[in-house]
Structure 1
Amino acid sequence: MPHQVASLPRRHAPAQPTTDYDVVIIGAGSAGLSAALTLGRALRRVMVCNGGAPRNAPSPGVHSFFTRDGIKPAELLQTGLQQLQPYETVEVRTAQVTQLRKQTGLFELVAEGETGRSFTVTARKVLLATGVEDELPPIDGMRDLWGRGVLHCPYCHGWEVRNQPIAIYGRGKIVTGMALLVSRWTTDVIVCTDGAGHLSENARRRLRQQKIKLREDPISHLEGKPNGELRHIVFENGEKLARYALFVHPHQHQRFGLLESLGCRLTSKGAVWVNKHAQTSVGGLYAAGDITPGPQKALLAAAEGMQAAIAIHEALTREECPK
């Protein structure tokens, strides 16, 4: 009689919740599209919610983006969208997410589409790639010249304004640091504090050492050229200061308005806290790009999107393939 071999119990993967998508990505900028590409290549079911124009839309070009230096922001994103087309598991929808709720093992999202009608979807993981909004100083002309005559990042725009007369707007430590940084691109730098600058004696000394002038007169408005470049900074006393561009480090706020209701932890500067795997303080909810701490550059956002996508795919795999 043949020897009977006891059958071993088969191990089954724990049941996964039935959802419409594996991942929903909120935001279709560099971070969101990069994540979608990586997840699409991993055969994950993905929906990307494209909520509108990116933060850098007014800029004439995206710079320091390897192989794409100077590309128009809209063209960069259009290329990203086109390169998602071969991946049949990735869907891009023009939609604004209005509700996001975490349930047992999944997320439920309510979004408003192009026609104004709402729809509901579920996903196992969610990636926030919504970016931030800049809060420009309330000076006439500042918003009109934003992206051309009024700039925020010398790494993005410094080369284009090199060796030109430049102004730096702001007060305290932030304006000092920006002025010293920009002085590597040009020797003609003036700090304009729009009233008392609240600069320490050490800050004033450092500016003098680099031959950076300081103007603490109140500013009336900015005068620009038809093409959006800066012509003059006009002070309340009527005096005009000719400058080629003005750098400002504006305050920011998160574009995505549901962070508080989700219980996401924020840093002291208002960025979404994430761990080394790009996960927020809410399990299953990830974040990448300008929404998180660190330098805000399109190329870095794209890299963070890819890193988040890898972390998400590996988390999903661990759930599907138990030890």
Structure 2
Amino acid sequence: MQTSVTDLGDAAQSRDVRDKSDATDRSDTVPGGTVDVVVIGGGAAGLNGALMLARSRRSVVVVDGGTPRNAPADGVHGLLALDGTPPAELYRRGRDEVRRYGGRVVAGTVVSAAPAPPQDGDLRFTVTLADGRRLVARRLLVATGVRDVLPDVPGLERHWGRGVVHCPYCHGWEVRDEPIGILAAGPASVHQTLLFRQLSRDVVLFTRGTVLDADTRERLDARSVRVVDLPVQEVVEDAGGGIAGVRLAGGEVVPRRVLAVATTLQARTDGLDGLRLPMEDAFGGTGRRYSSGMAGTTDVPGVWVAGNVTEPFAQVGASAAAGALAGAHINAALATADTDAALAALAGRARTA
């Protein structure tokens, strides 16, 4: 089945300038020489990782493309003490905090990142931006996030991030008690249906070819979830531009105000092929992600990953926590490298003497 790739940041910019990320409020200069860490991605994971590093007096540069996944959302939810904060405001505060401790935030798009020849026995990486600027770093943190791939249903994409949602924890409270339709994208949509049923008594599951066994249908019926097996033709709008319902094959329109869909999640890997980071399937075949170990370590020495790029279902709070953990781990690795270098220098001076 054909799909349409929706980058939430790009979609937001095309709909409403107020949804734009603030990444271009100002851009710091690219430093000369080698920095301790370049963070690729200026969302929750990247900024929190940079914050941990900057507070440890590491030279750190965040490269931010300015198109966060949650740009269309009115507010970030499930984040203690910051629930409801608009995403652009959250990231603006984060950039200010990183800068407060000496970190830099550079607006730009990475077109290549790759290992470089080691210097003084330590790792090096080069990162090149679309405008030709280059950065050299001892370590990298990749926090580029994911793109959502929507089912190819006419009229669906234009409502993404408003009347079309995907996460009951991110958007559920805001659509409570509304007539909700679930557009199935596979077996995982049954679980999604039961989660949204907690939020509304009026839930319809459009199977869209997903085969449901008798036990599953019985469970859905027990929760008063209507199952519709007829093919979906299009999303129908009301006079105000919102969702009015779903048109089925044959012409019937099932009234709905909100549609939920499990998207396919694809890690943002543009410009990162040179790192040769291993990838794997995400949970339930819902997409692809970078493989990672403890604290975001990867099989590529000197490169860490954090946030949705490796944990596609993580909310903002979990992504920020992962970035902080990765940042602390990177700082510890650099401390070991610094000590090794100091010991080598000491031994060299002793031999000379």
Normalization by structure 1: what TM-score? Answer: 0.88
Contact 2:183 2:207 in 1 (8 A): yes
Matched, 1:133 2:178: no
Alignment of 1:159-174 (within 5 A): 159-174=173-188
Structure 1 position 185, deviation (Å)? 1.2
Query: Which residue of 2 is the match for residue 12 of structure 1?
Result: none
Partner SS state of residue 34, structure 1: helix
Shift of 1:121: 1.5
- What's the Cα RMSD here? 1.8
Deviation for aligned residue 1:26: 0.3
Which residue of the partner structure matches residue 4 of structure 1?
A: none
TM-fit CA distance, 1:141: 1.7
Is 2:230 the partner of 1:217?
yes
Match of residue 206 from structure 2: 192
Secondary structure of 2:328's counterpart equals helix
Contact 1:166/1:190, CA 8 A, preserved across alignment: yes
Displacement after TM superposition at 1:227 (Å): 6.7
Q: Which runs of 5+ in 2 are unaligned?
A: 1-31, 283-287, 344-353
CA distance in 1 between partners of 2:279 and 2:207 (Å): 29
Matched, 1:320 2:333: no
One-letter code aligned to 2:151:
P
Kindly indicate whether the alpha-carbon contact (under 8 Å) linking 1:166 and 1:189 is maintained by their aligned counterparts in 2: yes
Structure 2 residue corresponding to 1:75, chosen from 77, 89, 108:
89
Give the distance between the partners of 2:199 and 2:68, measured in 1 at CA.
27
- Partner of residue 14, structure 1: none
Q: What secondary structure, in the 3-state scheme, does the structure 1 residue paired with 2:230 have?
A: coil
The structure with the larger Rg is 1
Task: State the match for 2:323 in structure 1.
Answer: 305
Q: 1:180 aligns with which of 194, 197, 216?
A: 194
Change (3 A) 1:28 1:240: same
1:200 & 1:24 partners in 2: Cα distance? 50
1:90-131: per-residue Cα shift (whole Å, max 9, x none)? Answer: 11111111111113311111112xxxx301211010000000
Separation (CA, whole Å) in 2 of partners of 1:279 and 1:226: 51
- Asked if the contact 1:26–1:126 (Cα under 8 Å) also holds between the matched residues in 2, the reply is yes
- Does residue 1:208 correspond to 2:224, yes or no? no
Give the corresponding residue for 2:114: 101
Identify the structure with the greater helix proportion: 2
Q: Which moved more, 1:229-238 or 1:266-275?
A: 229-238
1:33 corresponds in structure 2 to 47
Q: Distance in 2 between matches of 1:228 and 1:102?
A: 49
TM-score by length of 2: 0.81
Tell me the residue number matched to 1:278.
296
Q: Counterpart of 1:151?
A: 165
C-alpha displacement at 1:200, in angstroms? 2.2
Deviation of 1:51 (Å): 0.9
**By how many angstroms is 1:171 displaced?**
4.2
Partner of 2:5: none
